[in-house]
Amino acid sequence: MAFSGITTRGSAVSNSSGTTLAVSPSANLAAGLLAIVCCASDNNQTSDGASTFHTVTDSKSNTWTKVCEYTETDGSVDDGATVSVWATKVTTQILTSDTITLTLGAAKADKIISVMEVTMGSGKTFAIQQVGAGQNSLSASVASMPAREYLLIGAGASEGEDNSKTADGDYTERFDLITSTTGNLDVNIALHVQTRIATLTGDTVTSSAWTNTNVIQTLSALYEIDEDVGGSDVEYSSLVGANTNRGFTGITVPVAVRDNPNRFMVIGIGAYAAGGENVSGVTVDGVAATVITNQLYYGIQRIALYGFIAPNIGFYDVVVSFSGTTNSASVGVAVFYNVDQTTPFSGASEVDAADTTVSSATGNKVVDLIVFYPENSYSPDAGQTQICNLNDNPGDPGTITGMSYKDGETTTAMAWTPDPAYPAIAAVNLNAAPVSRRIFIIS
């Protein structure tokens, strides 16, 4: 049985200063249902992007997972909006006499909470595939996902009091809420929620006809997963972060890691290192990552893969340090799951070419990293799914850094075409976790 039966179960709004806002569901939320809560409030963060201002709990102590939280602001406290999406598979029934509570990190006047329930299959729970965010945009997208059924949740927030927004044509509007109609267009907060269930690899949601300001739109893609073992084969979760720079001794990549079982992070690094600069270290949320491959080719082309077992769920930084100042560099960070947490990788290969092979097996995944000069347009071969394709210094001497993955076979070939000049490629096999080690963790 797949996702079905999306039903709204109540909402609450407030324009009185405080740190909490509670709602009682309009019908009992039975054990086994998936409960979704979407929230909006005045912002406290003074910069755009991922934030950690909201928390959701309920009076029956179910465990809520933050799917996403983002802020859009003009740079000041209260001058913008924060939106978040939360989910739980209900383990203890939430009655109409119980409460679900949004707690803010500081007192705010304007805040909104909304509740939906979704039916899932027996023995299933949820996992987060990907989240897209549209900063100061009515639209958000997800892309390059495995083809399967998803529960798609579009949640947008803004300053203003426009509650006549138009949902995307493929989506069903669930909530269109505002905190007040007092005429304070730059103070009141609006929340627009819409959903879709569909089998696809990518999608875009748009909330049109808004007259508000500081709009932040999110699109969250959830899918069902076996509750007991967390699936079977190694699976790609998402590109959790990417960044490029010029002329620095390091590069910081903000990442957003979702809740998937038996996670393994792969960090791909490409650099135009005319002085032979080396990767001197990689940290994930302050903890050192493990080197998989690290090599210099042609005297200028640095290519390196690093790995990290069980990265924390949440928002933090991956930091790559170099032994000197590179001309330019790019870093892509991707997460896979159902990966063996004892021996996550094996069979690494690294060559000065555009293709390589590694030993693998059915149920595993092979991940590659290609770095090449000069700049041009190249694509991974058939059977490979592109993770990222980064230009570290457009228009100047630099490199292209690309990552992709492919289902494992006894011998798995990885290649990019057309064959570039001065290529270097690295690839590694990710081992599937034995069934006894597949544990789905909700935090």
Q: Please tell me the predicted confidence (pLDDT) of residue 254.
A: 86
Q: Any idea which residue has 């006549």 for tokens?
A: 164
Q: Any idea which residue has 């947008």 for tokens?
A: 156
Q: Please tell me the predicted confidence (pLDDT) of residue 183.
A: 58
Q: Please tell me the predicted confidence (pLDDT) of residue 54.
A: 97
> Which residue, 223, 213, 333, 217, is CA-closest to 269?
333
pLDDT along the chain (443 residues), means of 10: 91 96 98 97 92 95 92 93 96 97 96 97 84 92 86 96 89 95 72 97 92 92 72 80 83 85 94 91 96 94 96 90 91 94 94 94 94 77 90 68 93 88 93 62 37
CA 113, CA 11: separation in Å to the nearest integer?
A: 5
> Which residue, 398, 272, 371, is CA-closest to 326?
272
CA 253, CA 238: separation in Å to the nearest integer?
A: 15
Q: What is the pLDDT of residues 303-338, one digit of tens each?
A: 999 999 999 988 889 999 999 998 888 999 999 999
Q: How far is CA 286 from CA 252, 280, 304, 308, in A?
A: 12, 14, 19, 12
